[in-house]
Chains A and B, each alone.
Chain A
Amino acid sequence: MGVTTALPGRTNARRRRTGSPLGPDPERRRYGGVRELIAGLRNPTPLVRLNRVAGGVDAYLKLEWMNPFGSIKDRTAHYLLEGLRRRGELDGRELVEATSGNTGIALAALAALEGIPLTVTIPSGVPQEKLVLLRMLGATVMATPDDLCPVDNPRDGAIALARAIADSPAHRGRYAMPNQYASPDNVRAHYETTGPEIWEQTEGRVRTFVAGYGTCGTITGVGRFLKERDPGIRVVAVEPQRGHRLPGLKNLEEAKAPAILDRSVIDDVVRVDDAPAYAMARRLFREEALIVGPSTGAIAHAIAGLEPEGAGLVVGISPDSGHQYASFYASLVEQEGAVP
């Protein structure tokens, strides 16, 4: 039937006449399932200009919280699961992953869609709102006390526990562990989607890219893609101080550098203290009306410190929104005192 090759509009007109249900039509932002909302070249997350806080730097933030499960980790989780599936490591298995944050939520959402049981190991002290969100999505949550490994006492007890669940002989063949810190699929997610989106959205004019040290999937994947397009593009990594309170970011002196980090694509590392990061988050709320998480504050602070002439067109990542950080922002508004 020749009609099947018709334009989407005509197809829909035909469907209306026959009374059959509407099919997906991304141009009308009509989707067959929430998974189709995960960003990609045909469905990029927005770039939004910083008009007030960037101090003369021509900068855009890429709003990764416009992904359906709320963060840049939607891309990662999607690629991690697809990678496991492609290699046949998912067949009939459950999932286990150590994550206190956005990756867990994205994995839990995708696992729920596919009916795959997911166990998440998290460090103790993770805010109640995240724990409840994971459980609402059906994940089994194992909170890991700090002294769980009494002898080795690694800070990464949640990772050790997830590893033990995956590798224990008693569980042979039962669990697959996506392992965002070591999986090349994490890097691939950003090399194949986030990087090309930035290149397209800036029409190849991006000169500086700024992202945080976390799992290092974003900075490695985007950095590698942009450097291949133009080796002159500067890649700036934002690193918090030791003992920081910036969820999702990592100080690579106190935390192990993830296996997927490729330092060869990074030109500069900018250290950011908690206080200016939180102050910038507040400015983003109040001056740009961008409801962002603390890590975006750190990244925007680094952007505002760039030398405008040398930096050229800057793109920074805004990994997640401020909606899930009430407990982190509470002290900030309390410091401002009671309402008069």
Chain B
Amino acid sequence: MIDIRWDAELDCTGLLCPLPVYRTSQAIARLEAGQVLRIECTDPGSLADFPAFARQRGHALLAAQDQGGRQVFLIRKEAA
């Protein structure tokens, strides 16, 4: 997956749903369209939340991986 560059990172390890989605939503608001955010989580619920979040907000989920209890997501902000 990880041959994609990202522009910003967000550490959501140790945070329970819906905090990772809340903080991601805020972080994406600070990005320009086309920029990519890398998010790292430890709440398995995020594997279901982030695809739904990206779909609802119209952003592109470029990657979603579960690496031994850590979930990593790459989301590209799309133009509103």
B34 at interface by CB-CB < 8 Å: no
How many A-B pairs fall under 8 Å by CB?
49
Does any Cβ of B come within 8 Å of A103's Cβ?
no
Known A-B contacts A142-B22, A145-B25; the reply to A151 vs B15 at CB < 8 A is no
Indicate if the CB atoms of A164 and B56 lie closer than 8 Å. Answer: no
Q: Which residues does chain A contribute within 8 Å of B16, judged by CB atoms?
A: 163-164, 167-169
Question: Does A157 count as interface, using CB distance less than 8 angstroms?
Answer: yes
Which of A144, A151, A165, A170 touches B52 (beta carbons < 8 Å)? A151
Query: In the complex, which residues of chain A have a beta carbon less than 8 angstroms from the beta carbon of B13?
Result: 170
Query: What's the interface size class on A, roughly?
Result: 10 to 19
Tell me which of B21, B52, B53 has the highest count of chain A C-beta atoms within 10 A of its own C-beta: B21
Contact at A169–B14, with CB atoms within 8 Å? yes
> For residue A169, which residue of chain B has the nearest CB?
B14
Q: Is the CB of A151 within 8 A of B22?
A: no
Would you give the 0/1 interface string for A149-160, flagging 1 where the beta carbon is closer than 8 Å to chain B? Answer: 111000001001
* Contacting residues of chain B (1-49) with chain A, CB-CB under 8 angstroms: 13-19, 21-22, 25, 42, 45, 48-49
Q: A167's closest neighbor in chain B, by CB?
A: B16
- Determine whether the beta carbon of A170 is less than 8 Å from that of B18: no
Check B21 against A149 for contact (C-beta < 8 Å).
Answer: yes
What CA separation (Å) do A157 and B16 show in the bound complex?
Answer: 13
Residues of B within 8 A of A149 (CB): 17-18, 21, 49
Interface residues of A in 34-57 (CB under 8 A from B): none
Q: Which one of A145, A147, A150, A161 lies within 8 Å of B19 (CB-CB)?
A: A161
- Tell me which residues from 251 to 295 in chain A have a Cβ below 8 Å from any Cβ of chain B: none
The answer to whether B15 touches A170 (Cβ under 8 A) is: yes
B-chain residues with CB within 8 Å of residue A142 when the two chains form the complex: 22
Q: Which A residues between 2 and 22 are near B, CB-CB below 8 angstroms?
A: none
- A-B CB proximity, top 10 nearest: A170-B14, A150-B52, A164-B16, A169-B14, A164-B19, A168-B15, A168-B16, A150-B53, A151-B48, A149-B18
| 20 additional A-B residue pairs with CB within 8 Å, beyond A150-B53, A161-B18 | A144-B22, A145-B25, A148-B21, A148-B22, A151-B52, A157-B18, A160-B17, A160-B18, A161-B19, A161-B22, A164-B17, A164-B19, A165-B19, A167-B16, A168-B14, A168-B19, A170-B13, A170-B14, A170-B15, A171-B14
